[in-house]
Amino acid sequence: MARREKTETSVEGLTENQARVEHARLAQEIAEHDRRYYQQDAPTVSDAEYDALRQRYNAIEARFPQLRTAQSLTQHVGAAPSARFAKVRHAVPMLSLDNAFADEDVIDFVGRIRRFLRLPEDEQIVFSAEPKIDGLSMSLRYEDGALVTGATRGDGAEGEDVTANVKTLEDIPKRLNGKNIPAVCDVRGEVYMTKHAFFALNKHQAEIGGQVFANPRNSAAGSLRQKDPSITASRPLGFFAYAWGEMSEMSADTQSGMIKWFTSCGFKTNPLSRMCRSVEELLAFHREIELQRGSLDYDIDGVVYKVERLDWQERLGFVSRSPRWAIAHKFPAEKATTVVRDIEVQVGRTGALTPVAKLEPVTVGGVVVQNATLHNADEIARLDVRRGDTVHIQRAGDVIPQVLGVVLEKRPRDAKPYKFPTKCPCPLHTDVVREIIAGGEEGARAHCTGEFACPYQTLGHLEHFVSRRAFDIDGLGEKQIAFFHEQGWINEPADIFTLRERNGKFTLKGTSGKIRLEEVEGFGETSVRNLFSAIEARREISLERFIYALGIRHVGETTAVALARGYGSWAAFHDACLRLARGDNDAKEEMDALDQIGETVIESLRDYFAEQHNRRRFERLALQVRILEAEKPRADSAIAGKTVVFTGTLEKMTRDEAKASAERLGAKVSGSVSKKTDYVVAGPGAGSKLAEAKKLGVAVLTEDEWAKLVR
């Protein structure tokens, strides 16, 4: 994070208003990077820059916990699976790891584990440490010892079915070796390509005019995602096993014991893995592996530390998108120097203007990089980046670097300070304004005022609407949406569902006659028939997907899920938002009582539903589709569907452990007491929340009573 500390206000120096705006900006930017990385295999930022964004976001939430809502980036992982493959639901979610960037982060990680488990200082915590392979995560499901399914991670809950392809990999056994194999065994690990195989593949691809990959990770992903398994079979892919999902029976009670069992079953496991019994040993292992990094024939970008005891892993549990018992200690980024040829501005779905530095191509760590995001006008001013400047850059694993600073002694004499545009680059050339946050302060974000009149924003909203995590319409991707929008055939989401009835009434720009879509170059009878069928299949949609597809600012997937579960139906949610837009305070309080729904989301919903144009758009859309009610809460425990508040000091478990336990049993954990609260669990020192519970007549339980209830 060296660059951000030098060029941006430190987290400690942010006011709450500034933090709120920065927090929202980072969430939006990271979500876009996730889409490009997971859905398109085409990242536009480096690992280091992405990690820096995540790190700053997490630091803001740590200092301003009131900003932590259901939209938090810690609530989701990965991206939706590709429509090219059938989808596989993971019995146990495939989550990602939190990152450590400095030795202090590792020390904090160990300290958090000790505090969570309430371990005395003299009790040793043993870790299993292993290199972090930079490849493609894979889940392999075995039933009665036979491989039945191979699936990518996807969005963590649902992945791509690549069974036929993984069966061509020599490192993946088709049947597990040994006796007493569990009836169900989900082995997880990383598919990768060696460096020498990567260079040989790229040489061959260049010779035949095929796709040349940016790095081994992308080549592994591209090789595995082939519709023809014979192509995958021709690519030299390897696999390291290191984790597991659903297991009908465990074969060991330690992390290293499970790894040894994988080896006995016929899997390759990383020979560099090691047991570490202190923070000092963890850090020493990290330095040792970093020195070996260049000599390894596969890419790694850090070291993973996991708590050795599985019973402790079970107690520690998870924090939404990652386990508490593991962390990835990343390596520093690689650096180089190049020239800024130009600075271009891109307009996003929400109208945000993002400047991008177009670089003189330079090879960093074996990858040619040509672009770097400059984030906003303030960052350009702080760095004083100009066209023609020589800049220091760094990357860590992907294509796009981060700009560290300018080499002033090499600045051209005629280089002029960059002037951020005051007009949108769209054809309307609408005004560009800076965000004004509470208190009258000017935020860092600049955006086009054209809203839905701006073609960039309209197009962005339509692309979001059909994206994998929204309506997920097969055959209607960004390319097709861009074409239909350019022709004027789709201007809002409802238009998608009237395409078939309007077929034959279309007019291509520059022509006068009416045509059918089948007559347009690039389409055909089969593809059009499949497209219309895919559209019809999406006339029935889940409530959370519908809410997410609307593209409301600050309403991400997990926020949409929280809102869907909170209101249950579109009618109830719609009514609540309309009341919110009219200034109904009861509606605001009801929404605020929902778990992890905060002021930022409430304000966005109020503004969105207050705008008549928006209401007309989604009301026309609602006439075209059937919106399903949300899934009912789990009903297999005494607290399923109940709202619980913990207050005071818990003596038999930590607050985090209590919350994790309640959520596993289907309860909603809230931070405030309201008339919607079912239980308040009060320990010693309970104050205002206990008083509010008594005032509202909410059931108050002691810690022992709570334990008896959930048991």
2 confidence band (pLDDT: 50, 70, 90): very low
Same domain? For 139 and 151 the reply is: yes
Looking at the structure, do residues 590 and 523 belong to the same domain, yes or no? Answer: no
Q: How many residues does the chain have?
A: 711
- Residue 27 included in any domain: yes
Q: Are residues 95 and 146 in the same domain?
A: yes
Q: What is the largest CA-CA distance in the chain?
A: 83
Residue 281 maps to a domain: yes
Last residue of a domain, one of 481, 507, 538: 538
Between CA 696 and CA 672 the distance in angstroms is 12
Rounded-to-integer distance, Cα 239 and Cα 135, Å: 9
Do residues 289 and 376 both lie within one domain? no
Q: In terms of domains, do 534 and 563 share one?
A: no
In this structure, the answer to whether residues 504 and 563 fall within a common structural domain is no
Whether 516 is in a domain gets the answer: yes
C-alpha closest to that of 335 among 235, 410, 403, 381 = 403
User: What CATH number has the domain bearing residue 656?
Assistant: 3.40.50.10190
Number of domains observed in the structure of the chain: 5
CB atoms under 10 Å from CB of 336, counted, come to: 16
What local confidence, expressed as pLDDT, does residue 437 receive? 55
Average model confidence (pLDDT) across the chain: 84
Q: Are 596 and 70 in contact (CB under 8 A)?
A: yes
In contact, 405 and 392? CB cutoff 8 Å: yes
The arithmetic mean of pLDDT across residues 627-645, rounded, is 77
CATH number at residue 470: 1.10.150.20
Mean pLDDT is lowest, of 112-121, 350-359, 399-408, for 399-408
**348/203 same-domain check:** no
Work out the percent of the chain whose per-residue pLDDT is above 70: 88
Tell whether 637 is covered by a domain.
no
Do both 45 and 68 map to the same domain? Answer: yes
Q: Does some domain include residue 437?
A: no
For the entire predicted model, the pTM comes to 0.49
Q: Are residues 344 and 290 in the same domain?
A: no
Taking residues 562-568, report their average pLDDT: 86
322 shares a domain with 184:
yes
Per-residue confidence (pLDDT) for residue 466, from 0 to 100:
92
Q: Whose CA is closest to 328, among 95, 659, 39, 93?
A: 95
In a domain, 556, yes or no: yes
- Whether 687 has a pLDDT exceeding 70, the answer reads yes
Domain range enclosing 592: 541-628
Is residue 132 part of the annotated active site? The answer reads: yes
> Would you say residue 423 lies in a domain?
no
pLDDT of residue 513: 85
DSSP-based three-state secondary structure for 194: coil
Average the pLDDT over 197-220 and give the result: 73
Mean predicted confidence (pLDDT) in 315-329: 89
pLDDT of residue 38: 56
- Of 330, 359, 389, which residue is a domain's last? 330
- Please enumerate in sequence order all residues whose Cβ is within 8 A of that of 432, keeping only pairs 6 or more positions apart, or say none: 353, 420, 421, 422, 423, 424, 446, 447, 448, 449
For residues 414-442, average pLDDT? 78
Report which of residues 415 and 235 the model is more confident about: 415
Whether the Cβ atoms of residue 449 and residue 433 lie closer than 8 Å to each other: yes
Mean pLDDT of the 106-120 span: 95
Give the pLDDT of residue 480: 92
| Closest residue by Cα to residue 386 from 346, 340, 427 | 340
Q: Is residue 229 part of a domain?
A: yes
Could you read off the pLDDT of 236-266 as tens digits, one per residue? 899 999 999 999 999 999 999 999 999 999 9
The stretch 213-223 carries a mean pLDDT of 78
Same domain, 199 and 341: no
Say whether pLDDT at 447 is over 50.
yes
Contact by Cβ (8 Å): 370, 344: no
User: In the structure, what pLDDT confidence band is assigned to residue 22 with cuts at 50, 70 and 90?
Assistant: confident
Identify whether residues 310 and 342 lie together within a single domain.
no
**Which three-class secondary structure state does DSSP give residue 223?**
helix
Pair 306, 326: CB distance under 8 Å = yes
Query: Which is the catalytic residue, given 132, 330, 588, 659?
Result: 132
Which secondary structure element, helix H or strand E, spans residue 19, and what is its range?
helix 16-34
Q: Beta strand 432-436 with 442-448: parallel, antiparallel or unpaired?
A: antiparallel
Over 80: is that where the pLDDT of 157 sits? yes
Confidence bin at 471 (pLDDT 50/70/90): very high
